[in-house]
């Protein structure tokens, strides 16, 4: 009878040790996953920021004027206003 | 014997644990902090600054700080030479920064991704990178003075200085978060330990009243004007007179926002709000409007311009020392007659004159939402002498800032409302927009007087002493100003501040613009320097705002 209890207690302890090991290993994997996703999010944010800056750089007046100068589009258009229009004007 | 053995075994194990704890907590706490029980500050992202059409003027960019752990470096000379070549930093500077006695040193910051990847390619031991946010300006220095810059305080934290960055620093910088986690030696989370994370609150985004296209026009024309008239410096302010939203504010010379540390502090001063100057003749309409409002003069009244006027030991002359005899009150503005304005000032009365100077807000800050506005003072009533009253009528002997000038002048043409000028239109807080609306400080003149002074200012542009290349068919009102600069208690005849303040269209003003040039060399007069710049800007604005000729 005594050896039976001993066997049960040993079994429970062994089970608990194995469970502990399983939880520990699972926890390690989980923390590795979190690290991986955190790094991924961080890199995506960085990439997003770089793309955003690049987009606005390309879209800027500064960039447009430098491209225009390179292509020799430097002459400014002067508006032409029509005098004495031969159409009915709502007065 | 067996019990003693177990006891000593436990005792030695406990001693080993105590020794290790002593080592971790006392001897080498740096290592402990680095791996376990971390309390990290989460840096918030600084808010983005947009123009009124949601084009960003300042945003964040990811950059890198290069650091070294000198004790781990193997071939120091090779590393220094390579870094110098890639990052364009002197060999001597890098050498001085890599201090062998230290565990960790910062070599440089603000490195781009390309440079970082180049350095990483060499696989040097003892080198590493840290992420950092830097400000990026897609339009470069287009709005340098207006935006201000982000520098570091003594604790190494980012702080906005000058302009919008300085004034709205608290809104833009946000609140840092905290990340308290227990990690193992490899930096992985330990789930049975402490886990606490308070997310950072990112900075608020600002939408300015500035229109970057108008800003570009103003800067281009001012730059051209400074070159043409050989002026020392200059400013242009363009605003909507109905709500005092600033559409453009440019002062030159300016500076490179991303390399602000390469410029002296003088470059950071925004003269549009910090220059205290004598406005000269651009001030005359303010006094004329006050006299009209008080019904002391009418536009059709006449004044006999006989010659110079003596006040005590001082003689007041017209700018060209020519006198036309009997002229109308409107003609006083047209020909910018100093003696005529002394007459108007006498009609208005000294007490009224001082009251109106205060009504126009010339004894207080305008309250514009930019860091660095200069405060001006009006002398107390008992410090005013007869000559002071006389010269104040034509804008000499009184000092104001350009932003005060345009704010007061706007009240003349918007129906008499003195409105607080502002550069921020909206603050975006967590996606919700908080609008900043028109803030009327007080009424200065009536709508009737406003209409009368607008007509007089239109007539001033049409019949003034100087004929400008005005855009044809448009009704433009305005006034020139040429103020001598006081140097050591005397006015220097050859050194002036030339200015022009104008608005259009006269019947329903869409914009008001003030152009100021300091010490132009080709001509000392505002009519020959600042005014042409104004008309160049007006021509472009008519096209931009699609305003047709009347």
Number of separate domains in chain A: 1
Q: How far is CA B545 from CA B51, B247, B505, B525, B542, in A?
A: 16, 12, 11, 30, 5
- The percent of residues above 90 in pLDDT, for chain B, comes to 60
Q: Is A10 helix (H, G, I), strand (E, B) or coil?
A: helix
Q: How far is CA B343 from CA B309, B444, B479, in A?
A: 10, 22, 19
Look up the domain containing A20 and give its range.
Answer: 2-68
- pLDDT of B282 strictly over 90: yes
Strands B205-208, B49-50: pairing is parallel
Q: Looking at the DSSP assignment, which residues form a beta bridge with residue B387? A: none
Q: Give a yes or no: residue A40 inside a domain.
A: yes
- Each of the 91 residues of chain A gets a pLDDT tens digit; together they read 678 888 999 999 999 999 999 988 888 888 888 889 988 998 898 889 889 989 999 999 989 989 998 998 877 777 676 665 566 655 5
Q: How confident is the model at residue B29 (pLDDT cuts 50, 70, 90)?
A: low
The pTM (predicted TM-score) of the whole model is 0.85
Nearest to A61 among B60, B216, B548 (CB): B216
Looking at the complex, does the CB of residue A53 fall below 8 Å from at least one CB of chain B?
yes
Q: Are B536 and B468 in contact (CB under 8 A)?
A: no
Domains of chain B by start residue, with CATH? 212-544 (3.40.710.10)
In chain A, what residues touch B472 (CB-CB under 8 Å)?
Answer: 81
- pLDDT of B35 strictly over 50: no
Q: Quote the pLDDT of residue A84.
A: 59
- pLDDT of B36 strictly over 50: no
Query: Tens of pLDDT along B170-207?
Result: 999 999 888 777 766 666 666 666 677 888 899 999 99
Q: Give a yes or no: residue A81 inside a domain.
A: no
Average pLDDT estimate for B2-15:
88
A87 burial class (0-12, 13-18, 19+ CB within 10 angstroms)? Answer: exposed
Looking at the complex, does the CB of residue B467 fall below 8 Å from at least one CB of chain A?
no
Query: Tens of pLDDT along B113-172?
Result: 888 889 988 888 888 888 888 899 999 899 999 999 999 887 778 899 999 999 999 999
Q: Which two tokens stand for residue B229?
A: 């008239």
Q: Give a yes or no: residue A30 inside a domain.
A: yes
Q: Quote the pLDDT of residue B479.
A: 96
Q: Quote the pLDDT of residue B528.
A: 92
- pLDDT of B358 strictly over 70: yes
Q: Is B248 helix (H, G, I), strand (E, B) or coil?
A: strand
Do B188 and A52 count as a contact with CB atoms less than 8 A apart? no
Average pLDDT estimate for B460-465:
90
Nearest to B136 among A42, A53, A81 (CB): A53
The 3-state DSSP composition of chain A as helix, strand, coil percent (nearest 5) reads: 75, 0, 25
Query: Tens of pLDDT along B477-529?
Result: 999 999 888 877 777 778 899 999 999 999 999 999 999 999 999 999 999 99
Q: Give a yes or no: residue A89 inside a domain.
A: no
Q: Are B289 and B453 in contact (CB under 8 A)?
A: yes
Q: CB under 8 Å to A23, separation ≥6 — which residues?
A: none
Q: Quote the pLDDT of residue B185.
A: 63
DSSP B343: H
Do B140 and A62 count as a contact with CB atoms less than 8 A apart? yes
Which residue in chain B is spatially nearest to A55 when comparing CA positions? Answer: B138
Rounded CA gap, B38 and B82, in Å? 35
In chain A, what residues touch B131 (CB-CB under 8 Å)?
Answer: 42, 46
Q: Give a yes or no: residue A74 inside a domain.
A: no
Mean pLDDT of chain B: 90
- CA-only gyration radius of chain B, Å: 32
């Amino acid at each position: 009878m005594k050896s039976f209890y001993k066997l049960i207690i040993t079994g429970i302890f062994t089970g608990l040790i194995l469970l502990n090991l399983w939880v520990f290993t699972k926890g390690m994997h989980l923390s590795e996953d979190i690290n991986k996703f955190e790094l991924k999010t961080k890199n995506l944010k960085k990439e997003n920021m770089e793309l955003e800056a690049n987009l606005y750089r390309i879209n800027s007046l500064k960039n447009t004027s430098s491209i225009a100068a390179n292509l020799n589009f430097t002459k400014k258009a002067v508006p032409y206003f029509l005098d004495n229009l031969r159409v009915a004007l709502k007065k | 014997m067996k019990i003693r053995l177990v006891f000593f075994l436990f005792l030695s194990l406990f001693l080993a644990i105590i020794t290790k704890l002593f080592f971790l907590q006392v001897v080498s706490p740096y290592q402990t902090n680095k791996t376990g029980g971390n309390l990290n500050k989460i840096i918030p992202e600084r808010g983005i600054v947009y123009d009124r059409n949601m084009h960003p003027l300042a945003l964040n960019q990811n950059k890198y700080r290069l650091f070294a752990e000198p004790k781990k470096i193997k071939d120091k000379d090779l590393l220094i030479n390579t870094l110098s070549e890639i990052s364009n930093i002197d060999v001597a500077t890098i050498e001085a920064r890599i201090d062998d006695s230290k565990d960790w040193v910062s070599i440089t910051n603000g490195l781009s991704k390309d440079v970082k990847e180049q350095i990483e390619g060499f696989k040097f031991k003892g080198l590493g990178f840290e992420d950092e946010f830097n400000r990026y300006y897609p339009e470069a220095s287009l709005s340098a003075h207006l935006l201000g810059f982000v520098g570091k305080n003594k604790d190494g934290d980012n702080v906005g200085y000058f302009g919008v960055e300085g004034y709205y620093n608290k809104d833009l910088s946000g609140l840092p978060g905290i990340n308290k986690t227990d990690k193992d030696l490899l930096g992985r989370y330990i789930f049975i330990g402490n886990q606490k994370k308070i997310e950072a609150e990112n900075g608020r985004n600002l939408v300015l009243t500035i229109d970057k296209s108008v800003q570009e026009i103003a800067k281009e024309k001012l730059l051209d004007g400074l070159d043409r008239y050989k002026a020392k410096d200059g400013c242009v302010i363009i605003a909507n007179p109905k709500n005092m939203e600033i559409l453009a504010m440019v002062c030159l010379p300016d500076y490179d926002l991303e390399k602000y540390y390469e410029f002296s502090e003088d470059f950071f001063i925004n003269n549009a709000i910090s220059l205290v100057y004598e406005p000269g003749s651009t001030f005359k309409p303010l006094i004329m409007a006050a006299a009209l409002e008080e019904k002391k003069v009418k536009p059709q009244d006449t004044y006999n311009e006989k010659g110079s006027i003596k006040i005590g030991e001082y003689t007041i002359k017209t700018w060209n020392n020519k006198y036309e005899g009997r002229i109308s009150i409107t003609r006083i503005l047209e020909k910018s007659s100093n003696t005529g304005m002394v007459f108007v000032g006498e009609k208005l009365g000294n007490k009224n004159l001082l009251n109106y100077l205060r009504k126009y807000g010339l004894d207080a800050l305008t309250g514009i939402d930019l860091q660095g506005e200069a405060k001006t003072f009006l002398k107390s009533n008992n410090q005013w002498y007869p000559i002071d009253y006389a010269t104040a009528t034509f804008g000499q002997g009184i000092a104001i800032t350009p932003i005060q000038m345009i704010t007061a002048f706007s009240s003349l043409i918007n129906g008499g409302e003195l409105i607080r000028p502002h550069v921020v239109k909206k603050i975006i807080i967590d996606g919700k927009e908080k609008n900043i609306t028109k803030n009327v400080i007080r009424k200065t003149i009536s709508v009737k007087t406003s209409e009368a002074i607008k007509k007089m200012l239109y007539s001033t542009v049409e019949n003034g002493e100087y004929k400008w290349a005005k855009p044809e068919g448009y009704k433009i009102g305005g006034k020139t100003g040429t103020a001598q600069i006081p140097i050591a208690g005397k006015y220097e005849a050859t050194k002036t501040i030339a200015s022009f303040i104008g608005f259009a269209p006269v019947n329903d003003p869409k914009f008001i613009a003030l152009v100021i040039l300091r010490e132009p060399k080709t001509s000392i007069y505002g009519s020959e320097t600042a005014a042409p710049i104004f008309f160049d800007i007006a021509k472009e604005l008519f096209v931009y705002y699609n305003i047709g000729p009347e």
